[in-house]
Structure 1
Amino acid sequence: MGLGKRMKRILVVVAGAVLLVVGVLLLVLPGPGLLLVLAGLLLLASEFPALERYVDPVRDRAMKAAEDSVSSPLRIAGSVLAGLALLAAGIVWATVKSLPFSGWSTGSSLILSSVILFALLGWSYHRVKSRRKSGTKAAASD
């Protein structure tokens, strides 16, 4: 195995492991845990085929959770409020020096979490909306 292939494999394994660990942490913390677990598993499965059996069940649960997050206006509003709260907390933690763990490292991670939440919320909404359109078209053609 050449040096380039070896380096690529190491990078893929490290990135997959980091995504997997962060995803597992975000299962109990605010954030897109299942989607990061899925991303980590997909990367790791590209190097370790034995992990492929875990990809489909995690993908199914992640997609179900994404669809559930936009299933009603109340859930969408709750997700938007959670994203705004994360954004505000990030700004506060970055600027107020008297808070524990204050600074831009903590603040930027909270801000990044809010950006990821908004991106995933938009993606989930678009996905559900396009599924409903294709379901309506399929029902109309029957």
Structure 2
Amino acid sequence: MATAGDSRTGSESAEEPGWRDRIRARPGGRLTLRVVVGVLGGAMIIGGLILVPFPGPGWLIVFAGLAVLATEFTWASRLLDFAKRRVRAATDWLQRQNWFVRVVAGLLTLACAAVIVWLALKLTTGFDLLAQARDLLG
């Protein structure tokens, strides 16, 4: 993975600058590149966070946005490394647990996602899934 200090790919020779180095060499290029990467990475993170409660790749988009930011910003690279370590530790812990703990963890995750979807629908569209279910059943 490219980091904030490295803009070369493995296929380029040591003498040939990478495309980011060529952009940085122009007047105002370094600032422009940082702004573009910051806006793109920030938009990806915000979009991913919006998508987290819904089915789909919400967290994947958040981590991808963080990886985009990490190409220009050292703090984002450190945050991405920290997040990867935390996710790996939680995954390793869950894998060591018996099936009951895994099922409970899955059900809690599903319940949290259901509450977030219910709240999102109720607060944004006024559609109450629980009231509709009560009306259908009774």
Provide the TM-score with structure 1 as the length reference: 0.39
Task: Identify the structure with the greater helix proportion.
Answer: 1
- Larger gyration radius, structure 1 or structure 2: 2
